[in-house]
């Protein structure tokens, strides 16, 4: 499994919103400019995060986006799932699979366990953990 650019950029945008003071909205252009990312793509991602209830937006001068929830309450998994990112490490764990070994695979149970732990790991990392840098993840 490899995360998409949408997932990567979405997590970057969410972390930037977590880093901003609560009364300081960040525009898509500000976030995109900071990392040299496409503004239209960041705008689309922020709209999707807003529809998922993670981000609030304010129109007009001084407007932009803020986190709708406390950063400590937003997990990496929640951000990724809000962007419709599949988190299955192998295709056979999804509802629809084209794998011909699905009924007879000797590794499926192992992948199911690994996948479950991966999701738990993503649940255990919040935007609050990420806004300070990777030091918070060294546990």
CB 85, CB 49: distance < 8 Å: no
Handedness of CA 139, 74, 69, 73 (dihedral sign): negative
Nearest residue to 71 via CA among 20, 6, 5, 10: 20
pLDDT digits (tens, 9 = 90+) for 97-129: 667 776 788 888 898 899 899 999 999 999 999
Is the pLDDT at 5 greater than 80? The verdict is: yes
Q: Two tokens at 129?
A: 């953990």
pLDDT digits (tens, 9 = 90+) for 6-60: 999 999 999 999 999 878 999 999 999 999 999 999 999 999 999 999 999 988 8
Q: What's the average model confidence in pLDDT over 83-104?
A: 74
| Residue extents of the structural domains in the chain | 5-137
CB 72, CB 126: distance < 8 Å: yes
pLDDT value, residue 84? 83
What gap in Å lies between CA 12 and CA 18, rounded to an integer?
A: 10
The CATH code that applies to domain 5-137 is 1.10.10.10
Q: Provide the pLDDT confidence category of residue 130 given band limits of 50, 70 and 90.
A: very high
Nearest residue to 65 via CA among 6, 3, 23: 23
Q: What's the average model confidence in pLDDT over 60-82?
A: 92
Write b or e for each residue in 121-136: b if 16 or more Cβ atoms lie within 10 A of its Cβ, otherwise e: ebeeebbbbbbeeeee
């Amino acid at each position: 499994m490899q995360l998409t650019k949408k997932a990567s950029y979405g997590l970057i945008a969410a972390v930037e919103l977590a880093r901003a003071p609560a009364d300081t909205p960040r525009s898509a252009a500000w976030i995109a400019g900071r990392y040299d990312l496409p503004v239209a793509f960041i705008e689309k991602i922020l709209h999707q995060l807003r529809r998922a209830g993670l981000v609030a937006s304010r129109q007009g001068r001084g407007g932009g986006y803020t986190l709708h929830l406390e950063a400590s309450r937003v997990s990496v998994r929640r951000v990724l799932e809000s962007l419709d990112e599949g988190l299955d490490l192998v295709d056979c764990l999804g509802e629809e699979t084209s794998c011909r070994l699905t009924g007879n695979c000797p590794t499926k149970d192992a992948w199911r366990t690994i996948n479950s732990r991966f999701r738990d790991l993503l649940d255990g990392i919040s935007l609050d953990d990420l806004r300070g840098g990777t030091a918070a993840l060294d546990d």
